[in-house]
Structure 1
Amino acid sequence: MAATAVMESIAMMIMSFLAGFIFFYFISSQEKTEKKNQISVLTSLLIDFVIYIWVGKIIVHMDIFFKDPIAILAIPGNSQAFYLAVVFILIHIFVQTKRGQLDPFKVMEVFFYTFFSASFVYEFLQLTWNEDTYSWPYLPLLFVLLSGMVALHDRMPSMRLMPIIVFIWSMGQLLFAINRPFTTVFGYSIDWWFFLLIAIAMLFVAVINRRERVKS
């Protein structure tokens, strides 16, 4: 039964990100070759992120890993493993950027569109497939943000639109985290301070963008 639940979760995750890639492909104004390249880059980073989650699970459950390494497979990923994976992937991106192997701004753009559309599909599947009504009110928030992205993507550069959308998302999630027993992102329970950090980071990005516009 547990194995079936895990397989269903993986299937929903894959379908969600496939939908996210399709959304990015049709909404992005980049050349076809460039869009395919950015989807390939993000796919590679997502695979790396999954690997880092497993590394995080091993670190968090080091005692179990040394006693029974196979048992780690049965332990579901928790928020601690997720946070460690986020730190690892940020370091990974930083190193690749320093080596000239990655353009972080292009990665942010494809991730921006893919993440929100994939999140909406994932939560919709949770609601319809698993009858998980806890997706409310997160699902309506994602719908509003996606609608805003579709309406504004031709009127505003992605690097200006992104911090606005992400800030609204993080503040909405912060309110949910404060007022609900738990708040999830792709099934991972996330603490309120994580969303607060993202909101603060987006404010800094918005300030930097504004200064750059003034200079130009």
Structure 2
Amino acid sequence: MEVLTFAVLVTPFIIVFYLAVLLIVRPSRAVLLSSLLGGLILGVVNFLFDLAASSAHWWHYNLTIPSPQQKIPFDIPAETFTQFMSHLPFPYYLTPILIFGSLAYMVIWKLWRGPKHRIAQIVLFGVPVFCILRDILVAQSGGTYATSWDSPIAPLMVVLMWLIGFFVGYLVFKKLSPTRESVEARRQAEHERLLAAIEARKKAMQQS
């Protein structure tokens, strides 16, 4: 898939899916922001590894040249645009930032304490393993939107990229985010204050 096609067709779906899960998880503002920061760290690590891979010739992305109907930003020549994106495909970083980073961290936060703790553990260890296996299998397929390995150490770098990016991002998220218990306690207190205020207002209206 060509980068512009991905940006136009896939990016809106990623954002809508992310927002839909937010309605289920219902994170506090602090949890949401810390998860986004953790996801951003994962995306930056991904970017830095891609940048290193471009310089050290570890791998590159297989991308097709945009069709004549597609408008390239800033009127960059299509071949130049494709060559640049084959090393640093910026639209693709949205997935690790929002889905494999922020969303995964919030799901772990939501389920870590309680009867679904096992699911949280599966997400914690399963997401980086899934991403590693996906990159390895996709690279072997050799198709469009796949990475082509230019060095025998590319698989090792892929493993390091996901392990470092995911768990560093998670540690930052865990350090900054409040516990689920504290968030729920705060929400319960706010709910009780609201009910008390409503009841007091009703009594005041009845007395008047």
TM-score scaled to structure 1, two decimals? 0.36
Larger relative CO (CA 8 A, sep 6+): 1 or 2?
2
Structure showing greater Rg: 2
Instruction: Give the structure with the larger helix fraction.
Output: 1
